[in-house]
Amino acid sequence: MDRIRQIRKQFFLTWLRLKTLDFLKLGADNSTRRMGPYRVNILSFGDFEYLFRHVFWKMEYYFESKNPAPFILDCGSNIGISVLFFKTLFPAASIEAFEPSAGAFACLKANVLQNSLEGVRIHNLALAGQAGELDLFVPPDNPGHLCMSSEAARTPGGRAVKVRAVPLSSFVDRPVDLVKMDIEGPETKVLAEMEQSGALDRVSRLIVEYHHHMTPQDDSFSQILGILERKGFGYHIACPPKQPYLPGTFQDIMIWAYKNKGAV
């Protein structure tokens, strides 16, 4: 836990500044911000504050590894806050970062370059169960919105933009220390293809944000848990309280999965 305290201490002033600006409603969109030792281009102040709070303060993507240079697949990188967190945690990490939105990807690219991040490759690609092209639904007033999705139900009123999609397994060419996945809907399809192709056998840990009830009648959470259990993963699950629990209500469910000892 010493590492967690060190990171929070390093970014305390950023947390305090963002909390103050958010309270006073003074945060500016389309600007550049200091975040600890980093300079960060942002598209939406509200989205940036949310990402910083969950990634750097709550540390939802924190993990430990005996490998000082872990290989990380960051699926759904948005503007790159998760990439900066992983590089803070493991400066020698190798990261493949995926972001389908052109607007968010441009910001991600700028943040990787202006912070001189080494060992990071970025890909303007969506992830899916098979290679091809799909519609990405993007809110017209925020090209980097955190709820952009290939599922129309996740982004009501979103404008459909054609993007190239690939299976994640095509990037698994060695053991993977962590797959972080926040792709707003197709996570089960991506992991099913990873299971079928054998790529999931090479993954040690996953941190997956599962989007439950993308449509109110979609009760299929057991599918993703079944994939993890068949491949020998243990897991923890957390879901923010959202009472009252009305039928069909949308939920974000976090899954932290780890390969059990002796698993194939």
- Give the helix/strand (H/E) hosting 38: strand 38-42
54 sits in which H/E element: none
Six-digit token string for 21:
């600006």
pLDDT above 60 for 102: yes
| Residue 155, pLDDT above cutoff 90 | no
pTM equals 0.93
Q: What local confidence, expressed as pLDDT, does residue 24 receive?
A: 84
- pLDDT at residue 169, as a whole number: 97
Q: What is the pLDDT at residue 261?
A: 64
Q: Contact at 8 Å (CB) between 263 and 231? A: yes
pLDDT higher than 60, residue 264: no
For the chain, the structural domain boundaries read 2-258
Please write the tens of the pLDDT for every residue from 55-64.
999 999 999 9
User: DSSP string of 132-185?
Assistant: EEEEEEE-TT-TT-TT-BSSGGGSTTPEEEEEEEE-GGGG-SS-BSEEEE--SS
pLDDT at 166 over 50: yes
Q: How many CA atoms lie within 13 A of 217 on its CB side?
A: 0
Q: The CATH number of 2-258 is which of 3.40.50.150, 3.30.1330.10, 2.40.70.10, 3.30.230.80? A: 3.40.50.150
pLDDT value of residue 114: 97
Look up residue 88 and give its amino acid.
Answer: T
The type of residue at 97 is: A
Alpha-carbon distance of 201 to 216, in angstroms, equals 32
List the one residue out of 184, 190, 177 whose CA is nearest residue 73.
177
Q: How many residues does the chain have?
A: 264
Q: What is the rounded CA–CA span in Å between residue 137 and residue 127?
A: 14
Per the listing, tokens 């201490």 go with: 9
- In a 3-state reduction of DSSP, which class is residue 256? strand
